[in-house]
């Protein structure tokens, strides 16, 4: 890095929608490379900062698909604020594990879990607190709702894939995943 004026840091936001945070854990597998990374980036909304809203960013990394209305609001905010939006992992790209409920009716699923399962307390009902986001009829991958610029496949994507994507973007290159960095499991 040049010894001249300090470079502007890249602003990066990350979120897990209908995901398991496994992609975020894989991101942390960058290990000591995280130290090099934070010389170049600062985090906006992310589990790493615990900020609750997303501001203007260069890169948004979205883990998980869309299973409820709140997921859709957060995704749209990310799209509006991030110059480059990246779908990270199988769930963001294909719906993934949560989408395995898509051939079932959501009301049947909720009743089976909260009302009909053995061992529930008497009078158990499907939660309907107004603060709970409403589930969608089907789980969707994020490209069905907003434009996605890049995708990192994998369950989770390997840390090397995160590294390749971020270093390519910060070098002004179109990201390319080299041999062995594309897998779907």
Partner 1 sequence: MNDPGPRFSLDGEDVPFRPGETVLEAATRAGRHIPHLCWHRGFAPHGSCRLCMVAVGGRLVAACSTAAEPGAELTLHSEALARERRTLLQLLFVEGNHFCPSCEQSGSCRLQAEACEAGMLGPHFEELYPARPVDASHPDLLLDTNRCILCGLCVRASAQVDGKAVFALGGRGLGTHLVVGSASGRLADTDLAADDLAARICPVGALLPKRRGFAVPIGQRRYDRVPISAQPEPDDGLAPGAVPPAGAEAGR
In the complex, which residues of this chain contact partner 1 (CB under 8 A)?
Answer: 87, 90, 93-97, 99-100, 102-103, 138, 140-141, 143-144, 148, 150-153, 155, 177, 179, 182-185
**Is the Cβ of residue 17 or residue 177 nearer to partner 1 in the bound state?**
177
**Is the Cβ of residue 123 or residue 179 nearer to partner 1 in the bound state?**
179
CA distance 137 to 132: 15
- CB of residue 116 to partner 1, shortest distance in Å: 21
Burial of 107 (0-12, 13-18, 19+ CB in 10 A): exposed
- CB of residue 144 to partner 1, shortest distance in Å: 6
**Is the Cβ of residue 44 or residue 142 nearer to partner 1 in the bound state?**
142
Q: Of 150, 131, 130, nearest to 61 (Cα)?
A: 150
CA distances (Å), origin 92, targets 77, 128, 171, 184? 16, 26, 25, 12
Structure-token pair, residue 111: 């009743």
- CB of residue 64 to partner 1, shortest distance in Å: 13
**Is the Cβ of residue 107 or residue 144 nearer to partner 1 in the bound state?**
144
Please state the φ and ψ torsions of residue 24, each to the nearest 5 degrees.
-65, -40
- CB of residue 170 to partner 1, shortest distance in Å: 19
């Amino acid at each position: 890095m040049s010894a001249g004026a300090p470079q502007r840091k890249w602003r990066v936001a990350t979120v897990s929608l209908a995901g398991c945070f496994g992609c975020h854990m894989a991101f942390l597998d960058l290990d000591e490379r995280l130290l090099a990374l934070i010389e170049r980036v600062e985090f906006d909304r992310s589990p790493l900062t615990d900020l609750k809203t997303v501001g203007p960013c260069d890169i948004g990394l979205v883990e998980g698909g869309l299973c409820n209305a709140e997921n859709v609001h957060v995704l749209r905010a990310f799209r509006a604020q991030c110059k480059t939006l990246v779908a990270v992992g199988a769930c963001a790209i294909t719906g993934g594990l949560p989408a395995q409920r898509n051939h079932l009716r959501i009301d049947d699923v909720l009743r089976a879990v909260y009302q009909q399962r053995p061992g529930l307390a008497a009078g158990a009902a499907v939660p309907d607190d107004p603060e709970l986001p409403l589930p969608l009829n089907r789980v969707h991958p994020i490209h069905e709702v907003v434009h996605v610029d890049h995708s990192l496949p994998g369950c989770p994507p390997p840390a090397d894939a995160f590294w390749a994507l971020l270093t390519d973007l910060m070098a002004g290159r179109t990201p390319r995943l080299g041999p062995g960095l594309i897998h779907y499991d």
